[in-house]
A and B are shown apart, each in its own frame.
Chain A
């Protein structure tokens, strides 16, 4: 037997003999004993500042900040958007334009629609239908003096070939006039043609027409008519007061802002038929302002500002309306019925322009600069809950550290209810957790956070009771410093509420 065979035979045998002598059964299974394990774990560490909150809010709600950090909540709605097709849609060529003589002026669209002074065609093709009654070939040179491109007037040559029968009809190919500029007066276009035979004799065509399917322009200048666009049927939902139960607000300067972005070179005027605010109690009040009566004129780019967008902001605020009074009645919705009027004066001497890229947008926003006071405000909401079963936990003690940067006393409470709305448990003792207001500095800005430490104990018995809850009513109380005197304070971007939550858990494993 070689030494390596010996090794293979004897060594395993000896190892088996050795291990067989020893009882290792109670080493193979490891488990917990019937004893409590005391675990301490951090659960939550969060601070929700207005700055962070602004990144979270979605939809039409925006929290914005001025350079000094003061905050404004804005509920926006884009209520009207119109492009150039709404002002000047493509003009269809229903009937051919007759060229009655060798020099003819033709109205290419009625003056009641527009009075074009200058226009540049886009995506437009024309052709000519010609008929000769001469028994030989006829050579035609067609010119349109009002139509130029790169300094050259429109000029095209055609040949009507005699085919031994009279009259001879000839249809030209489509001719693109993209990029050609027409400079005209009262929408007139002049057609001038010279028709000669091979021997040089001038002749007049029996019939001649210009045809087109659609006329489109990339630029159009002149008097472009009167237009009215309704802006109605919508409202802006303001969720700020949804959970209100009692108490008062006093925001210093709530605003409803109309903003219009206008790239049309045409005057746009707003006409406010109705602008009303509805409170959470259902009371509806009309916004009253001289500007509701007179309407508002919006800026527009001049002839030397083609391509620019002019934006006009108009605020209905406490200086020009009753907005402050009615808004602080806890506005829930803002309803509006307005019109945007283009060329409202119908003055045909007013020359404007549009381009194929032109548009205008009307937005309505309810803006609440967070400057004001909140007096003993109570808000409440009910949440459906299903708490999980926890078998191993014998007892849990939550340690919550609340921090508050706001100049406001804040209280919170949560009540657990069953299906029949019977109270099963109350989360905090008494009126709830109370977090004092952060102290104010000389500039009415808070100087440091206040903190409140609270311990919450849950043993198995209490948790089992709470676990039967199907609803949790969460309520909060807010009272800004000196709110009794309606002392207005700004809310800043760095203000926030913090929660640090840890748990000591007594666990008895299965």
Chain B
């Protein structure tokens, strides 16, 4: 019985870890319409700029790589390794998953003025976990008698369609960019409050759960009881373009050309929110719940008494329908570009606010044009990853350009060891 739950928890955690890759900024596609994805003020080189089938997908964690917590047993199955987790630093960690599918981006450059427009389907998810939860899963609660463990996981997910229109205007060396975005949410899971404390008491190992959970969902989660939870992935589609769950967001940017070679830029992206009004479910549980074993008197009086049911009933979840709003994950950037003949050098600082957590990242990149090829390197540093080296390859078949970029190329094929990994590719047409 305990074993089954144990595995369910493990599997739940791992479902998120098995999603893979990492957001790749179009940092190295200088002068393309994809460049405006991280700053709407970055000038486009050509008059007509098309971006097609651009996909950026990524997985990152501010915690640990998969192999830093788990091992492979003799049967080839993965398990949480007690020996590995002993040294991990206590705290709360997150796994992030993002996948941007941009169907089309269009930029029309009219010298001092440019128009940009496009559509994208954007998904992001986050799984927050504590080291206490990992230790509990690895050791069992017997090692923590008399202690209180903070084990409450938090799950967040959001998917929406984005239709945008924007403009750039040049004021001398300064270019200003602005995008207005209409958003149509397709699925949401929002852990507004997520805290669960488990105490195994010393007296005779009574289990005390202190729960404070408020979870909201649209088109994704249906909860009937702890053993009857339905997650409906149908919401993660490109559907729902023009109805329900509407929202609005803006991208703003500024670009300053210091001289022919050197430019600075800054942007604030995805500043906005979605109002979720399609089947907006609210699940709430609060309070202290104790399990102290079976009262033999109760058992004698009711021989159908079931310990499993008793445990499941401990979680008193109130459900209701209530519209809610969530801010979308926003991003703030500061960057600089230096162009030297066939070389270009780029630096970009990002502060990404995702599901309430801030993520800081600095990227340095360079691209060398060799004939019809663009060969680039991208080094990224963040809180948990100091050795992330990416690769960029572009193919210039004018007016068509194909590219593929990856971060952490060293771990691309063994992402179990990566703390952040991502890949992006796309096609643009410029003339």
**Do A and B associate with each other?**
yes
Q: Residues on A close to B: CB < 8 A?
A: 3-4, 6-7, 10-11, 14-15, 18-19, 21-35, 37-46, 48, 52, 55-56, 392, 399-401, 499-507, 509
**Contact present for A48 and B414 (CB under 8 Å):** no
Query: How many Å lie between the Cα of A6 and that of B57 in the bound state?
Result: 19
Partner of B73, one of A18, A31, A55, A499: A31
- Complex A-B: 18 CB contacts under 8 Å: A15-B55, A21-B412, A22-B20, A22-B412, A24-B20, A26-B76, A27-B14, A29-B75, A31-B73, A40-B142, A40-B145, A41-B207, A43-B293, A44-B293, A44-B295, A45-B206, A504-B205, A507-B3
Query: How many Å lie between the Cα of A499 and that of B297 in the bound state?
Result: 12
Query: How many Å lie between the Cα of A52 and that of B296 in the bound state?
Result: 11
**Contact present for B11 and A500 (CB under 8 Å):** no
B103 cross-chain contacts in A, Cβ below 8 A = 3-4, 6-7
Taking the complex as formed, is B279 at the interface, i.e. its CB lies under 8 A from any CB of chain A?
A: no
**Contact present for B142 and A42 (CB under 8 Å):** no
Chain B residue nearest to A21 in the complex (CB): B413
Query: How many Å lie between the Cα of A400 and that of B10 in the bound state?
Result: 32
Partner of A18, one of B53, B72, B79, B423: B423
**Contact present for B53 and A38 (CB under 8 Å):** no
Taking the complex as formed, is B204 at the interface, i.e. its CB lies under 8 A from any CB of chain A?
A: yes
Query: How many Å lie between the Cα of A18 and that of B76 in the bound state?
Result: 24
**Contact present for B104 and A3 (CB under 8 Å):** yes
**Contact present for B55 and A11 (CB under 8 Å):** yes
B2 cross-chain contacts in A, Cβ below 8 A = 39, 41, 507
**Contact present for B78 and A29 (CB under 8 Å):** yes
**Contact present for B78 and A26 (CB under 8 Å):** yes
B146 to chain A, nearest CB (A): 10
- Given A27-B14, A30-B10, A42:B78 Cβ within 8 A: no
**Contact present for A7 and B205 (CB under 8 Å):** no
Query: How many Å lie between the Cα of A25 and that of B77 in the bound state?
Result: 9
A51 to chain B, nearest CB (A): 11
**Contact present for A30 and B139 (CB under 8 Å):** no
**Contact present for B292 and A45 (CB under 8 Å):** yes
Partner of A27, one of B18, B81, B204: B18
B66 cross-chain contacts in A, Cβ below 8 A = 27
Query: How many Å lie between the Cα of A48 and that of B297 in the bound state?
Result: 7
**Contact present for B77 and A56 (CB under 8 Å):** no
Q: Is the interface of B mostly helix, strand, loop or mixed?
A: mixed
- B10, B52, B53, B425: most-surrounded residue (chain A CB, <10 A): B53
Within 8 A of A (CB), among B279-338: 291-297, 300-301
A32 cross-chain contacts in B, Cβ below 8 A = 3, 7, 73, 79
Taking the complex as formed, is B250 at the interface, i.e. its CB lies under 8 A from any CB of chain A?
A: no
Chain A residue nearest to B201 in the complex (CB): A42
A44 cross-chain contacts in B, Cβ below 8 A = 293-296
**Contact present for A48 and B81 (CB under 8 Å):** no
A433 to chain B, nearest CB (A): 15
Q: Residues on B close to A: CB < 8 A?
A: 2-3, 6-7, 10-11, 14, 17-18, 20-21, 52-53, 55, 57, 66, 71-79, 81-82, 101, 103-104, 139-143, 145, 200, 203-207, 238, 291-297, 300-301, 412-416, 423, 425
**Contact present for A505 and B79 (CB under 8 Å):** no
Query: How many Å lie between the Cα of A4 and that of B119 in the bound state?
Result: 11
Q: A18-B57, A37-B142, A56-B300 are in contact. List 10 more A-B contacts (CB 8 A).
A: A18-B55, A24-B20, A27-B416, A32-B79, A43-B293, A45-B294, A399-B204, A499-B296, A502-B205, A502-B206
Query: How many Å lie between the Cα of A35 and that of B140 in the bound state?
Result: 11
**Contact present for B204 and A401 (CB under 8 Å):** yes
**Contact present for B293 and A501 (CB under 8 Å):** yes
**Contact present for A503 and B73 (CB under 8 Å):** no
Partner of A56, one of B55, B291, B297, B415: B297
Query: How many Å lie between the Cα of A214 and that of B81 in the bound state?
Result: 93
A56 cross-chain contacts in B, Cβ below 8 A = 297, 300-301
Query: How many Å lie between the Cα of A335 and that of B153 in the bound state?
Result: 69
**Contact present for B76 and A502 (CB under 8 Å):** no
**Contact present for A37 and B412 (CB under 8 Å):** no
Query: How many Å lie between the Cα of A3 and that of B117 in the bound state?
Result: 14
Query: How many Å lie between the Cα of A265 and that of B141 in the bound state?
Result: 74
B135 to chain A, nearest CB (A): 11
Partner of A399, one of B7, B76, B78, B205: B205
B321 to chain A, nearest CB (A): 33
Query: How many Å lie between the Cα of A11 and that of B143 in the bound state?
Result: 48
Partner of B140, one of A33, A39, A499, A503: A39
Partner of B55, one of A14, A31, A501, A504: A14
B289 to chain A, nearest CB (A): 13
A46 cross-chain contacts in B, Cβ below 8 A = 294-297
Query: How many Å lie between the Cα of A45 and that of B294 in the bound state?
Result: 6
Partner of B293, one of A3, A11, A19, A502: A502
Chain A residue nearest to B66 in the complex (CB): A27
B200 to chain A, nearest CB (A): 5
A500 cross-chain contacts in B, Cβ below 8 A = 203-204, 292-293
A15 to chain B, nearest CB (A): 8
- Given A3-B104, A501-B204, A502-B205, A30:B53 Cβ within 8 A: no
A43 to chain B, nearest CB (A): 5
Chain A residue nearest to B57 in the complex (CB): A18
Chain A residue nearest to B83 in the complex (CB): A35
**Contact present for B414 and A23 (CB under 8 Å):** yes
Query: How many Å lie between the Cα of A21 and that of B207 in the bound state?
Result: 45
Query: How many Å lie between the Cα of A281 and that of B76 in the bound state?
Result: 69
**Contact present for B77 and A40 (CB under 8 Å):** no
Query: How many Å lie between the Cα of A123 and that of B275 in the bound state?
Result: 81
**Contact present for A40 and B72 (CB under 8 Å):** no
Chain A residue nearest to B2 in the complex (CB): A39
- B3, B11, B143, B293: most-surrounded residue (chain A CB, <10 A): B293
Query: How many Å lie between the Cα of A4 and that of B53 in the bound state?
Result: 10
**Contact present for B413 and A23 (CB under 8 Å):** yes
B10 cross-chain contacts in A, Cβ below 8 A = 30
Partner of A33, one of B7, B18, B71, B145: B71
Query: How many Å lie between the Cα of A399 and that of B81 in the bound state?
Result: 29
Query: How many Å lie between the Cα of A399 and that of B202 in the bound state?
Result: 10
Partner of B76, one of A23, A29, A41: A29
Chain B residue nearest to A400 in the complex (CB): B204
The 4 closest A-B pairs by CB, nearest first: A38-B142, A502-B204, A31-B77, A502-B205
**Contact present for A39 and B141 (CB under 8 Å):** yes
- Given A14-B425, A26-B76, A39-B2, A45:B293 Cβ within 8 A: yes
**Contact present for B77 and A29 (CB under 8 Å):** yes
**Contact present for A18 and B21 (CB under 8 Å):** yes
Query: How many Å lie between the Cα of A25 and that of B296 in the bound state?
Result: 47
**Contact present for B140 and A37 (CB under 8 Å):** yes
B75 cross-chain contacts in A, Cβ below 8 A = 29, 31
B52 cross-chain contacts in A, Cβ below 8 A = 3, 6, 10
Chain B residue nearest to A39 in the complex (CB): B140
Query: How many Å lie between the Cα of A45 and that of B139 in the bound state?
Result: 25
A332 to chain B, nearest CB (A): 25
**Contact present for B292 and A42 (CB under 8 Å):** yes
Partner of B204, one of A45, A48, A509: A45
- Given A27-B17, A45-B294, A392-B3, A33:B73 Cβ within 8 A: yes
**Contact present for A22 and B413 (CB under 8 Å):** yes
- Given A56-B301, A507-B2, A38:B293 Cβ within 8 A: no
B240 to chain A, nearest CB (A): 15
**Contact present for B57 and A42 (CB under 8 Å):** no
B101 cross-chain contacts in A, Cβ below 8 A = 7, 11
Query: How many Å lie between the Cα of A56 and that of B297 in the bound state?
Result: 8
A33 cross-chain contacts in B, Cβ below 8 A = 71, 73, 79, 81
**Contact present for A39 and B142 (CB under 8 Å):** yes
Query: How many Å lie between the Cα of A227 and that of B14 in the bound state?
Result: 87
- A30, A32, A43: most-surrounded residue (chain B CB, <10 A): A30
Query: How many Å lie between the Cα of A399 and that of B291 in the bound state?
Result: 16
**Contact present for A43 and B14 (CB under 8 Å):** no
B403 to chain A, nearest CB (A): 12
A18 cross-chain contacts in B, Cβ below 8 A = 21, 55, 57, 423
B207 cross-chain contacts in A, Cβ below 8 A = 41-42
